[in-house]
Amino acid sequence: MRPAILTPLFASVTSLGGIGPKTLPAYDRLFDRPDGARVVDLLFHTPTGIIDRRSMPGIARAAEGQTVTIDARIDRHKAPPVGSRQPYRVYAQDETGEIALIFFRAKGDYLSKSLPVGERRFISGKVEWFNGQPQMPHPDLILTSEDFARASPIEPVYPLTEGLTGRMLAKSIANALDHLPDLPEWQDPDWLAKRNWPSFGQAIRSLHRPEAIDGPRELLALARLAYDELLANQLALALVRRDMRQAPKRQRVGNGQISARLVAALPFKLTGAQEGAISEIRADMASKDRMLRLLQGDVGSGKTVVALVVAATAIEAGGQVALMAPTELLARQHYRSLAPHAEAAGLSIAILTGREKGREREAVLAGLESGAINLVVGTHALFQTPVVFHDLTLAIIDEQHRFGVQQRLRLAAKGRDTDLLLMTATPIPRSLMMTYFGDVDSSRLTEKPAGRRPIETRTVSVDRIGEVVERIGAALATGAKVYWVCPLVDESLEVDLAAVTERFGDLTRLLGPIVGLVHGKMRPEEKDAAMRDFQTGTTRVLVATTVIEVGVDVPDATIMVIEHAERFGLAQLHQLRGRVGRGDKPSTCLLMFKGPLGEVSKARLAIMRESEDGFRIAEEDLKLRGGGELLGTRQSGMPGFRLARLDIHADLMEVARDDARLMLARDPDLTGDRAEALRVLLYLFEREDGVRLLRAG
């Protein structure tokens, strides 16, 4: 049960006041919380930069593009003619000169009140020079002398979403800070003193009320908060791992008959790495300790086959197996690829996603509860309350980094003593693995199946897009299939959708009706239909967003075009490239870039040309960007983390892990002096599954 002291932080943002039914959906969307944005979401919404309003050079001395504050007298208003698209202009002046304040779609009565003629105002914004005259489009701050004296000269800048302005969000965060309770200190006092770190409350306030650009106070505050988050994560992982090791488990040893039939029916020979991974996983299943193993396999290394063979072993031993994927697209593809092999070996296989309804869904649920279904493939639907297994002994989670620890545990909890196999197509450097998974066993697939050909990777400027389309037209005439990936334009799905739709229209006009389209806003059945058309050859060019990044398998696709490749991280480029080169034909990946390129972008594209080794690419990605994109989430920070950033806080990871181990060694059930505060920490960062595993909790 969450400690009462945290109740104000996990209340709806509407409890703060000033957020009503009209703006609430924008907050829910910003924090990706369909169940409703909370006060804690505001507190953990970190600024991406600051605006320094201390620069007051005077109107005539303001540089192009500079954010300045002017102390000026309002001279006159110039409203546009009725029906005109011209902007509303307000002219203001100081002792150095005159500036035009530009407002599009403005309301004259509002501007007359906020900028009254003859009165003095402090106005802040970005200056532009047009025909030798300074202007300021849409100033972001207009204050009286009294209000300016009270305002902070340095303002944080936050990520926004449609329907929210920076001013609205800043006000909500200020209200959230006012509701921050005085939390007990969970960190060791000597450790805080050694690092010169503030308390949690002081740190979170410093984050949202900066005093300087990269000031030492703000950097110390962020380090303190990042360590809190890392410690909560490591403590929860340590408790989960201890619970898995302590719980009694049946030893699972198959007779080898089903798995032997499966392997014999495969159209290829298992690689040495696959055979080694299968042996390691079987040994874990046969032991008295519950398995927690991570199977790392580079793109196209054959993880799914390994999963199927070890699933057969679990079924031979009398259990059921669940394979969970993060998207319906990937789950259905797994089902389509596994079903023929499973059925040929005499196994009963089913699929369960949000799309299965009515009698079809009821039949699957009944089969799982009775044990008639041996293997089920699905999405998050697998760990929902109505799903009951007869005896789930092995849970396999694909692209596991897209699931939280709690979601993995919820699936494992569907069985009595379920073994857990995590799979990822994104190779993870050792320096990161312990941070995300704690003390996890790992198997690596370092070979590609026989017959796979290298992928030729080239870079080409977007200025030559006409040539690229011509070459694709020639390749299509020989029967080729092509992926064309459009980039992330910004954080707006609507803008991204417009970009991919426009490219689809362009290529359809140039290449004909053989062009298909798939993107994240399509309904699941529409995505499936688009992929099916591409697989069968009804369409031979697939224009897509990064929805195709993981798991999509079309062996005869041989060309991958990635527009604006400089906008992607290395790991994501590697994942996308891995959608081709899956058959026995030569394949090509074209990385289209827009120059001039920065040093990081140059290095990234050079590495892609040089190497197909996902493990090397992962290490280089870690050096270039930090770990956020490495595991396929936001560009900075780390998956599942809101404050910790690998590129800044790498030195704190190992410390947090060692600290968590030491705490549990000294106080296994967290009943000592710091126990109550540490429980607050776990709940604050939503790692409460760790608390539930404590015998005393």
What does the DSSP assignment read for 175-222?
A: HHHHT---PPP-S-HHHHHHHT---HHHHHHHHHS--STT-HHHHHHH
Same domain? For 325 and 433 the reply is yes
Kindly tell me if the per-residue pLDDT of 695 is higher than 60.
Answer: no
Give the per-residue pLDDT at 531. 86
Give the per-residue pLDDT at 373. 96
Q: Are the C-beta atoms of residues 105 and 82 closer than 8 Å to each other?
A: no
Same domain? For 320 and 396 the reply is yes
Handedness of CA 499, 502, 508, 513 (dihedral sign): positive
**To the nearest whole percent, how much of the chain has pLDDT over 90?**
47
For residue range 112-157, list pLDDT tens digits in order: 999 999 999 999 999 999 989 999 999 988 999 998 888 878 888 8
Report yes or no on 115 lying in a domain.
Answer: yes
**To the nearest whole percent, how much of the chain has pLDDT over 70?**
89
Range of the domain at 672: 182-246+660-697
For residue range 462-512, list pLDDT tens digits in order: 999 999 999 999 999 999 999 999 875 444 444 455 678 889 999 999 999
Closest CA to 521 of 541, 492, 483: 492
> What radius of gyration, in Å, describes the C-alpha atoms of the chain?
29
Domain boundary among 445, 476, 509: 445
Q: How far apart are CA 3 and CA 549, in angstroms?
A: 41
* Cα separation values, 552 from 74, 328, 471, Å: 61, 11, 24
Kindly tell me if the per-residue pLDDT of 549 is higher than 80.
Answer: no
Give the per-residue pLDDT at 528. 82
Give the per-residue pLDDT at 543. 93
Same domain? For 470 and 551 the reply is yes
Same domain? For 48 and 63 the reply is no
Kindly tell me if the per-residue pLDDT of 31 is higher than 70.
Answer: yes
Say which residues have a Cβ less than 8 Å from residue 621's Cβ, sequence separation at least 6. Answer: 569, 570, 571, 629, 630
Q: Please state the domain count of the chain.
A: 5
* 540 confidence band (pLDDT: 50, 70, 90): very high
Give the per-residue pLDDT at 637. 40
Same domain? For 618 and 667 the reply is no
Mean of the per-residue pLDDT values of the chain? 85
Across the chain, which distance is largest between two alpha carbons, in Å? 92
Report yes or no on 38 lying in a domain.
Answer: yes
Give the per-residue pLDDT at 632. 31
Closest CA to 667 of 631, 636, 697: 697
* Cα separation values, 333 from 337, 377, 404, Å: 6, 10, 22
Q: How far apart are CA 607 and CA 457, in angstroms?
A: 10
For residue range 196-241, list pLDDT tens digits in order: 999 999 999 998 988 755 567 778 899 999 999 999 988 888 887 7
Kindly tell me if the per-residue pLDDT of 602 is higher than 80.
Answer: yes
Residue, of 213 and 344, whose pLDDT is higher: 344
Q: What are phi and psi of 619, to 5 degrees?
A: -65, -40
Same domain? For 49 and 59 the reply is no
Burial class of residue 607 (count of CB atoms within 10 Å of its CB; 0-12, 13-18, 19+): buried
Residue, of 667 and 310, whose pLDDT is higher: 310
Residue at 490: amino acid letter: D
Same domain? For 19 and 113 the reply is no
Q: How far apart are CA 193 and CA 415, in angstroms?
A: 46
Same domain? For 496 and 568 the reply is yes
Kindly tell me if the per-residue pLDDT of 629 is higher than 90.
Answer: no
Half-sphere exposure of 62 (CA within 13 A, CB side): 34
Kindly tell me if the per-residue pLDDT of 99 is higher than 90.
Answer: yes
Q: Are the C-beta atoms of residues 158 and 166 closer than 8 Å to each other?
A: yes
Domain boundary among 398, 417, 445: 445
Report yes or no on 641 lying in a domain.
Answer: no
Q: How far apart are CA 187 and CA 681, in angstroms?
A: 10
CATH code: domain of residue 607: 3.40.50.300
H or E stretch covering 555:
none
Would you say the pTM of this structure is higher than 0.85? no
Complete edge-to-edge strand list for the sheet that includes strand 120-126: 128-130, 133-137, 97-103, 88-94, 67-78, 120-126, 141-143
Burial class of residue 194 (count of CB atoms within 10 Å of its CB; 0-12, 13-18, 19+): exposed
Retrieve residue 192's tokens: 């805080």
Q: How many CB atoms lie within 10 A of CB 250?
A: 16
Report yes or no on 649 lying in a domain.
Answer: no
Domain boundary among 422, 445, 468: 445
Q: How many helices (H) and strands (E) does the chain have?
A: 24, 22
Give the per-residue pLDDT at 97. 95
Mean per-residue pLDDT, 617-636: 52
Burial class of residue 490 (count of CB atoms within 10 Å of its CB; 0-12, 13-18, 19+): exposed
Residues in a beta bridge with 419: 394
Same domain? For 480 and 350 the reply is no
Same domain? For 482 and 620 the reply is yes
Same domain? For 199 and 145 the reply is no
Q: How far is CA 326 from the centre of its chain?
A: 12
- The DSSP letter of residue 488 is P
* 428 confidence band (pLDDT: 50, 70, 90): low
Give the per-residue pLDDT at 436. 60
Torsion of Cα atoms, 390 then 391 then 396 then 397, to 10°: 60
Same domain? For 310 and 406 the reply is yes
3-state SS assignment for residue 116: coil
